A = this chain, B = another copy of it.
Amino acid sequence: MALIIQKYGGTSVGNIDRIRAVAKRVIQSAGRGDKVVVVVSAMAGETNRLIELGKTVSRRSEGREFDVLLATGEQVTTALLALAIEEEGRRAVSFLGHQVQITTSGAFSKARIESVNTVRTLEALNDGYIVVVAGFQGATREGSITTLGRGGSDITAVALGVALKADRVEFYKDVDGIYTADPAVCPDARMLPKVTYEEMLEMSYLGAKVLHPRCVEMARRNRLPLIVRSSLNFNPGTSVVTEEEIMEYAAVAGIVCDKNQVKVSLLNIPDKPGILAGVFTAIAEDEINIDMIVEDTTGADRATSVSFTCGSADLGAAEKAAKKITAKYPGSSYAVRSGLNKLSIVGAGMRLHSGVASKMFTALAREGISVYMVNTSDIKVSCLIEAKYSELGVRTLHDVFELGKPQPRKAARTAKAARK
């Protein structure tokens, strides 16, 4: 008898019919003798509606009272799902964040989970209830309602999974699982039956919006098995597992493309100790989210150039910061290039296969795609390219690394055995 966390996103509970379908699905799982805790998001569009409502009375868009407002979205879905499950004849009980209790920091609209109390949930499970938990929310030690920010409900699910020592967390999405590339761009993209935590984490950071990096990282640290699957069919989906659970890999598992990137270069700034620290402290103070950083000292003597990338939402702030910094150093200047995409290949197999990066560069060059910046880790290579080439780039790399063919991604042992 397993203990399973099932998490349903906003689209999966987007209307009454879907909520009824979720109720049936949850009951089916519970019917196999498993204990089931369901975590739900707000109905699709509801959180945005509440934010807009709040903005009509307030120039702010976050803070304590916004969290009180937003938390009602998940509260409604939680109650409706519990009612729908009871309507099907199974006992269900809903718990809000403060009831579970999920205790968080006091950083409203982006609170961090500090602890999860399992007493009430375990009691209810042992009494035969299906437990429905409101995602995205918690409460401070003093009892103020908080929300967890982007990906919040996914994080609720994993935090509950860890605290309850669940056998797995199942994420029900409007996609079938994790693909080798975006199927809308690459018709021969395949669903991956398994990916490692590290691959999933890189993909999340690189712009695949299926799971939030915070929740993948939390699962990885606790070796909690995750499954990403569709709420609209019964396909098995993608399992996120440890490396030991996959015997053989190809070098590359998937291609990710992150849109709306901007590159800012600071040219001919003095090359002296502490200069980079000064530059990036100034940028951080303007709350610009920096992604890649490259320094190049091959220019003029005792001078250096630094480039960084950020999302295009930060373009204005980044340009202002660049202007301010270069104004301090006579002879220096700055350049901004927008309309870029970050194209990445990800695969834990890269550690064992050499020549992956050069194969990538060669393939892009053959198609006339210029690379404006490169960044690598042990399991990914990212290239900044012009946005207009992004689809071509994805398809080119998908072909070159033969991702359309079935891969030899076999399970080493069963998930259960591996965790012992």
Contacts and interface: CB of A to CB of B under 8 A. Distances in A.
A87 interface: yes
A26 to B, nearest CB: 13
B72 A58 contact: no
Nearest to A57: B84
A105 interface: no
A416 interface: no
Given A76-B72, A99-B143, A82 B65 contact: yes
Q: A57, A60, A78 — which one has the most chain B CB atoms within 10 A of its CB?
A: A57
Contacts of A65: 79, 82-83, 86, 92, 94
B143 A57 contact: no
B71 A58 contact: no
Interface in A70-118: 71-72, 75-76, 78-80, 82-84, 86-87, 92-94, 96, 98-99
Interface of A: 16, 19-20, 23, 50, 53-54, 56-60, 64-66, 68-69, 71-72, 75-76, 78-80, 82-84, 86-87, 92-94, 96, 98-99, 120, 143-145
Given A54-B83, A58-B87, 12 more contacts: A16-B56, A19-B57, A20-B57, A53-B80, A57-B80, A57-B87, A60-B83, A65-B79, A65-B94, A68-B96, A71-B75, A99-B143
Give the top 3 A-B pairs by smallest Cβ distance, nearest first: A69-B79, A72-B72, A68-B79
13 contacts: A16-B57, A53-B76, A53-B80, A54-B80, A58-B87, A60-B83, A64-B94, A65-B82, A68-B75, A68-B78, A96-B145, A99-B143, A99-B144
